[in-house]
Amino acid sequence: MIQYVCNVKNICVALQNWVKPMTQSKYKKGRLLVGLFCVLLGLSAPAANRVEADVMQSTNFKIQTDTISIGGGRSTSAGFVVEDTLGDLATGEDMASASFKGCSGFQCFQQSEYISFSVAAGTSAPGTVGQNVALGTISTSAVSTSNHSSINSIFITAGSNGSSSVITVRSTNAGLKSASINQTIASASTTLVAGTAGYGVCILSASQMTAQAPYDGTCNTTTGHQVGVVDNTSRAILSAASSFSSGSAEILVKAARSSTTPGAIDYADDLRFIMTATY
């Protein structure tokens, strides 16, 4: 955090009929952040009518001339956070051209780029980081799916102050792979049905983010089994067109097998979710 504060150690020291400005500027990632003038005017008066303030001093310090001027800071407690400014002048964010964007005032320095992103699993939101999704024994008579009871969902929480954001998904195995028998239940964008081998994921719900095709089809924990492919390509699954602070999404994992799918106890996959933002 950068603050423009005038005090006894800076240049805002009162002298008789004396003015001295301070300007600072900072360029950062295409934005122009402009510090404001800090000006203190000395006043003259006849000697007979002059009144002076006491000098503040102790054993360890002495302040000859002091002033309350421009500043601000961050205040916190167990229940709140406050970003405040004292005496900020000529603030605004509407300065822009084809190659830069300007923001003037102390509070502009609070606008650092940030991303908040978490992936967890569980039977209810927000899930637990580090948990897996165990589909159990897959039969030919039903599609195995995240179901809010015995099979976990994937929960994503996210936020960013970027102008746009996207979350991608990529599979390590491009399907459910058994290392012991070297067999894979391949993933594809399709509607899974019992008795036909397949695997994929779909978006059950999303807040402050938009589900992307092909993950935005009919998707629920009972009969909606329209899934999107997960393979070795990073594919957009969620996006946001502006800044957002508390986005969330629930992703269901689904799989089915056929009567000819070889049996094994180690079918598995590794899904990687990555969030990026543009500023």
CATH number at residue 204: 2.60.40
**Is pLDDT of 120 > 80?**
yes
Per residue in 51-62, pLDDT tens?
555 667 788 777
Q: Does residue 239 form part of some domain?
A: yes
Per residue in 223-279, pLDDT tens?
999 999 999 999 999 999 999 988 999 999 999 999 999 999 999 999 999 999 998
Say how far apart CA 223 and CA 226 lie, in whole Å. 9
Say how far apart CA 199 and CA 153 lie, in whole Å. 15
Say how far apart CA 1 and CA 26 lie, in whole Å. 12
- pTM surpassing 0.85? no
The amino acid that residue 138 corresponds to is I
CB contact burial 241-263 (16+ within 10 A = b; e otherwise): eebbeebbbbbbbbbbbeeebee
How many Cα neighbours within 13 Å face the side chain of 260?
Answer: 1
What is the extent of the structural domain holding 163?
Answer: 115-278
136/101: higher pLDDT: 136
- Total domain count for the chain? 2
- Which of 110, 136, 167 lies at the terminal end of a domain, its last residue? 110
> Does 71 share its domain with 126?
no
Per residue in 74-100, pLDDT tens?
777 777 777 676 766 666 666 777 777
CB 148 within 8 Å of CB 222: no
- Which of 77, 110, 143 lies at the terminal end of a domain, its last residue? 110
CB 233 within 8 Å of CB 139: no
Pairing type for strands 144-145 and 164-171 reads: unpaired
Q: Does residue 257 form part of some domain?
A: yes
Say how far apart CA 174 and CA 165 lie, in whole Å. 25
Mean pLDDT, residues 141-163 taken together: 95
